[in-house]
Structure 1
């Protein structure tokens, strides 16, 4: 490892919609980078793609960070640490198999017309309001909220409430410890009431399906685990997708020549979405926090010492041993096996849903508004401070 002092993480963002400079150079000093988390605690970041991909399946890296003396992401928020939830095999694989049954191809395919209709309705509202909009509030936030409400069977009138609670739950340094705890308790209580209502009156929705699966075999999914997974799915289904829709569009529109290329050939939307996911400039690798329960050899013989807190870097999407000209946005890039959704047994359960929403959102926006452009220079877009994700707070657009 480098003798340098730990680097503050997450890295500072570029002023324009572009990747941080550190993403391009972080592999120069080797496969491990010593970092300092927002809490001030130390960690090791695995920087190289091949190591990252392999370690996603390595059971010597535990995700049960609340059960070990792992470094904290935040001084004010435990975030994803829950000692009652086992995020490692074999227990994790049992619960994941239950969730993946509920995320069947049949259910997702039936959802596509719903996503398309919600997209069209939001675009109608944008068009009727004039020739400009603030993209996050008009489109990027409501689309995934409405979709996940529909999918999970959450009343749409609750969307503002759970958005507020989720934003508080995901605070890294923006809120005080007391404010974070209040959001956590209220969010958990809200989910308890929601699940109780579904048990009493089940419907054709994902929560009801998870309840049915749990009732078939309570050993697979206890009430607490059921509530944990619903909490996780609501967060993942809303905030990450919303941030990616908005930030991905900002990245694209900041590059008018590339945006025009895509507008001229919307058949490129699937590959463009994958490339914007690879760029992944709305977040960092904090969600990949793990704890080394044994010494682990990397491919070049470097050792991750037992007892280390480890991040598996999404920034490995910029590894030039894997991706040609990785710092360039190439909407025609093929075989784009990025790390944005993880890998192996920890590949994101909602990846197919996210891809569907991102494709429908991108195609819908550019098809409806071929003149879509940023209303301000990309350098003027502002990122919120102290949240788990760092997508733009506002993205003014016009057409």
Structure 2
């Protein structure tokens, strides 16, 4: 699998510019497996080719349970999605996932469209009143998904501001110490526990209310700890990915005037533009896809040995020349629907429909409301977060 003495690349790869994919991705697929060193110092291999990545995302021999002896870690200080009391693999994962998925069906997400449109318009009204320049992160990209998610879950609107800090800690690779992360997670767990008890006293029709009923009225479908864990997870990961995708996607359009002009001339291109933005993997690398091979996995021309820590590299798959012509070119007219940024198989992102809706509504309404929208700095001067799982933008200064 690996030649003796072959150097390992540090992963995630560095970006040549804030809106550019890492240069290493351009030729990565010449080798099906690439050895890398993670931020923790642990070793893993990247699976680089689209066909292999897609296949492995549905292979039950590749486990998400990486809290085991010999498995690589993403971070030294943060176990992130690993909890010994939660089984992240089918069939246990699938059992709970089916309960949560009921809130994210295309029909239920589409029913949220009027609420999303109303929130977007309120936020754009605020931008217009203040006048430019503004930080698009604070004006639109972050407030929108957290308000939508809290509406879906049934979290009081007054509490939304508290989640930013908790999420920053949960998604930390090296920004915070282990004790700081632990303290933030204890605060969030206490909050979730209090929220669940409040909803038990006053039942609600939101997602948390539905999960409580699955726990209390249909005993055995959802354990108490599973209830709290999933509520916590949905709040933590359900908004920052969408916020980063929305803000970064707008910045990507603003830094490609020809593509922006094409979109303004034909708004029917918007769904395809969103898929191309997703292909660009703006939220960051594939380090969160870290898996563990529980058995030998024969592939086309090679084998992944049991005991290997593996990253199905979605960022590489999205740049695969055999699937996407001229992958290094940002082109909203291409068919990018095969992009894998939402993963595939049993761990396909349950919030994909909602994220697409939010990005679509916000991008169209923003660009139509402010036809002169532009970045106030050169694209190369934008800064990305350091030491975090998501490589979001520190600030997105715009005016119009």
User: Is the shorter-chain TM-score for this pair beyond 0.5, marking a shared fold?
Assistant: yes
SS in structure 2 at match of 1:291: strand
Partners of 2:16 and 2:178 lie apart in 1 by: 29
What's the counterpart of residue 89 of structure 1? 90
The C-alpha deviation readout for 1:39-88, integer Å capped at 9, x for no partner, is 00001111111011111111111111124531110011111111111111
1:166–1:187 CA contact under 8 A, matched in 2: no
Closer, same or farther: CA 114–273 of 1 in aligned 2, 3 Å? same
Deviations 1:163-193 (A, max 9, x none): 1111111110011111111111111111111
- The residue aligned with 1:14 is 16
Deviations 1:218-274 (A, max 9, x none): 322111111111122112221100111111111111111111211222221111011
Partner Cα distance (1:292, 1:395) in 2: 39
The equivalent residue for 1:194 is: 195
Within 5 Å, give how 1:110-121 maps onto structure 2. 110-121=111-122
Spell out the pairing of 1:246-325 with structure 2 (5 A cutoff): 246-299=247-300, 301-315=301-315, 316-325=317-326
Contact kept? 1:39, 1:74, Cα under 8 Å? yes
Moved more, 264-273 or 115-124: 264-273
> Structure 1 residues 224-233 or 389-398, which shifts more?
224-233
| 2:183 paired residue number | 182
RMSD: 1.3
TM-score, structure 1 as length reference: 0.97
| Structure 1 runs of 4+ with >6 Å offset | none
**The residue matched to 1:45 in structure 2 has which SS?**
strand
Q: Does the Cα contact within 8 Å between 2:147 and 2:157 map onto a contact in 1?
A: yes
Structure 2: stretches of 5+ with no match in the other structure:
none
Cα separation, 2, equivalents of 1:296 and 1:261: 45
**1:39 aligned partner:** 40
What is the DSSP-based 3-state SS (H/G/I as helix, E as strand, rest coil) of the residue aligned with 1:88? coil
Alignment deviations for residues 264-285 of structure 1 (CA, whole Å, 9 cap, x no partner): 2222111101110010122111
1:1-399 maps to which residues of 2 (within 5 A)? 1=1, 3=3, 4-28=6-30, 30-299=31-300, 301-315=301-315, 316-334=317-335, 336-399=337-400
Does the 8 A contact of 1:384 with 1:391 survive in 2?
Answer: yes
Aligned to 1:71, the other structure's residue is in SS state coil
Q: How far, CA to CA, are the matches of 1:68 and 1:60 in structure 2?
A: 17
Q: Give the Cα separation in 1 of the matches to 2:238 and 2:361.
A: 15
Q: Secondary structure at the match of 2:160?
A: helix
Contact 1:18 1:251 in 2 (8 A): no
